[in-house]
Structure 1
């Protein structure tokens, strides 16, 4: 068996980066740069904190716990079954994979097709059938992900983005615009909330199984060494993500002139036309297609591996077929519908994921107080569900009550319920075991 080297670890970091980096990671920081205007760097700080910092911490938390299921079992066995299912379905066939397929068509193929073809449902169906057929084929050999991503697809994507950045430095830059919406009064918090849309903090909880299996295939068997390598891979992927976000935010803020734009895809279209003229459309199409393909393969692989472990009677290949077919069908609903559904769902599950990550990282200090996990996660989960119902179904009718929670206006009203959960959970365990620390339960492997 070949010795695992630092070079292998770099390629694993590239693989993890490519699994995180989809088309959404292209359009959100670019639109942030455009919308934040002169507040671009403050907003990018918040964005990078949630879109890079949280995924790195998520990978570290899973590596430290041993697996996502082990981490979730600290809350409750039922939670350990339900929450991973919600996460996998959300970042997989429910939202992220169809979004990638739809974006691949709208920004990868659409600009190169005649206008009547680009808007024809039949053409979208044919394209997504080919796209997800390719995703399925490349997902059949998870052990080859390092070779396909780390050594081929990721370097191509990174090279294309850096070419765009270098070219932008040779062109006259436009002045930053006036901050729009909440980017004016709350640029940092708005950037932080925008980082949710990448879904990478959620993905970090589930990509660990793919990274760990890849490392084992490369000869890393020792549990401690495996955990350390997963952490290093997460940190390396995070550095690459941060660099790309800074570049895209810069392009969005200074890459004009712009006309009327409604999303990050249109921002990048204007930037590419400004920098490269007509050939910019082709270059942008290649970048989008590769990014969408990489993230779709990574998500189908991780979801299929997870569901195979939960339902072993259904083989990996069958799950991959199910997820690709379902994602293809959902992608044909259109990007707008997918995004409209994803925002409130992410708002409900992201705070729970953040709290779980933080608790995992301080587990050595709270492991004797098991009630902290269940009370904190329950409080945050209930608050997030109420907030989602208020936003998605009640047109903010409960705002008069919810705004009483500190920082609710900044999108992190769940922070107070989280702190209350920690205090109450700690108190419960002290009352159960007065005068001594609560017993430490042995975790399931």
Structure 2
């Protein structure tokens, strides 16, 4: 695959990941970290960019996203993928993108409630772009993303050249645990689970000869090499975006008094720098970021259902977009109550699958290792989810905090996952040596 197409697919990958949450999340971290901005961002980048990048590289090595669950029993594998695409697609991820685009891109300039007409237009544009499967790179990677990067660059350069205020002292946990807090916040972006979903589109795009000007990627080695290059482009751009938006937050204390989220910080910041034109700039950035994300998620959902259930791409695309528009208007808060726990549980399971696939080739012969690792992760991931949602009884909080490592970081699943994987590998190696000994003895 030539350099031009590699760059275009890398830009497309960056754009699909760059939702409104990725833009408004770092400013709050920067504001709270203050002078500890750099160590906090270091931790943040490790989990917010490192985990998704690792996921994409592992998927590229497997040559197909579905290979990630090849070692699981079919009902378990199918259930994982269906829940994942439903949660990050029409049940949560896409409706949230529509409502955020409206609240930050349209609502500040209007008096009435225009969510319904806006959502209809938004999902219609998403549908139109999603139907252009062969031209997805042209629309997103070669047109929309460069414009989005340009808009972000204008904001970032202005912030670095003329910051609104100096950095203040860190607050809260950032005073003594800046790196650790950054790691936690980066993990909570849940981009690792988005990487599993986007992998369907990215790998298919790399393999598609029409995208590669009849120089498609056929061998596993070439696919892996192309995936690594695409991932590096995504990682560099996403890291730069996070660093810039974090710096905006770190230098916004003069205009961010009382702000409780990154959206407020960003809105006040651009208004102080550019006035009403800054608000227009921010509106365009947010709407474009949300649009590229919904297009990517629509294609990911449709690709999965087409390859798994032979559902026509066009039918799935229409259903996904229709449900997105409906849920966005029907009350996202109620849907959040149902879908957020699913996403919080699926994220550690997805990471556990990626870690296991990194050291063990997924196949039915390795089923015990994958099933054991996923099952243990599911149990402890559920405990973390209950903790995040505030559903752990008060009397149990102190006990779990004392006896479960990383419980306070909402990652108590990590050590049990790695321990289970290690013991499974050792048991598997021991069994293999025993069988080899028995075979050798029988031969004699």
TM-score, normalising length from structure 1? 0.89
User: In structure 2, what is the Cα distance between the partners aligned to 1:401 and 1:85?
Assistant: 35
> In structure 2, what is the Cα distance between the partners aligned to 1:8 and 1:344?
38
Distance (whole Å) between structure 1 residues aligned to residue 313 and residue 9 of structure 2: 22
The correspondence for 1:320, drawn from 313, 317, 328, is 317
SS for the counterpart of 2:166 is coil
- Deviation readout 1:327-369 (Å, 9 max, x if unpaired): 1122225566666666544332221111211222222699986
Partner of residue 235 from structure 1, selected from 229, 232, 235: 232
Matches within 5 A, 1:207-218: 207-215=198-206, 216=208, 217=210, 218=212
Secondary structure, aligned partner of 1:435: helix
Distance in structure 2 (CA, Å) of the matches to 1:356 and 1:406: 21
Q: 2:72–2:364: 8 Å Cα contact kept in structure 1?
A: no
Q: Partners in 1 of 2:72 and 2:287 — Cα distance?
A: 39
Instruction: Tell me how many residue pairs correspond in the alignment.
Output: 428
Q: Unaligned 5+ residue runs, structure 2? A: 438-444
Aligned to 1:419: 418
Contact 2:68 2:362 in 1 (8 A): no
Structure 1 residues 183 and 336: CA distance shift in structure 2, 3 A: farther
Deviation at 1:303, TM superposition (A): 0.6
Partner in structure 2 of residue 406 of structure 1: 405
Q: Give the corresponding residue for 2:218.
A: 222
CA distance in 1, matches of 2:357, 2:426: 19
- TM superposition shift of 1:81: 1.1
Whole-Å Cα distance in 2 between the matches of residues 253 and 112 of structure 1?
27
- For residues 211 and 423 of structure 1, what CA distance do their matches in structure 2 show? 31
Does residue 1:352 correspond to 2:343, yes or no? Answer: no
Q: Give the deviation of 1:24 after TM superposition.
A: 0.9
2:110 matched to which residue of 1?
113
Whole-Å Cα distance in 2 between the matches of residues 164 and 204 of structure 1? 27
Corresponding residue number in structure 1 for 2:121? 130
Distance in 1 between residues matched to 2:205 and 2:324, nearest whole Å = 25
What residue ranges of structure 1 are gaps of 5+ in the alignment? 439-445
Aligned with residue 143 of structure 1, among 123, 134, 138: 134
> 1:368 & 1:318 partners in 2: Cα distance?
36
Indicate yes or no: 2:151 matched with 1:160.
yes
Whether the 8 Å CA contact 1:168–1:251 is kept in 2: the answer is yes
SS of equivalent to 2:106: helix
Q: TM-score, normalised by structure 2?
A: 0.89
SS across alignment from 1:234: helix
Within-5 A mapping of 1:237-316: 237-257=234-254, 258-312=256-310, 314-316=311-313
Listed one character per residue, the Cα deviations across residues 230-282 of structure 1 (whole Å, up to 9, x for unaligned) are: 22111211111001100000001113412211111111001101211121110
Shift in Å, 1:133: 1.1
Change (3 A) 1:86 1:178: farther
Separation in 2 of the partners of 1:30 and 1:357? 29
Partner Cα distance (2:131, 2:336) in 1: 28
User: Are the aligned partners of 2:388 and 2:410 in contact in 1 as well (CA < 8 Å)?
Assistant: no
Question: Are 1:81 and 2:72 an aligned pair?
Answer: no
- Mapped partners of 1:435, 1:107: distance in 2: 63
C-alpha offsets along residues 289-339 of structure 1, whole Å, 9 cap, x if unaligned?
A: 110111111110111111122221x31111111111111122225566666
**1:369/1:426 contact within 8 Å kept:** no
SS in 2 for 1:409: coil
C-alpha spacing 1:33/1:338, structure 2 compared with 1 (3 Å): farther
Distance between the aligned counterparts of 1:379 and 1:151, measured in 2?
A: 43
Distance 1:336 1:253 in 2: 30
Check 1:335–1:191 CA distance in 2 against 1; reply closer, same or farther (3 A cut).
farther
CA distance in 2, matches of 1:337, 1:176: 38
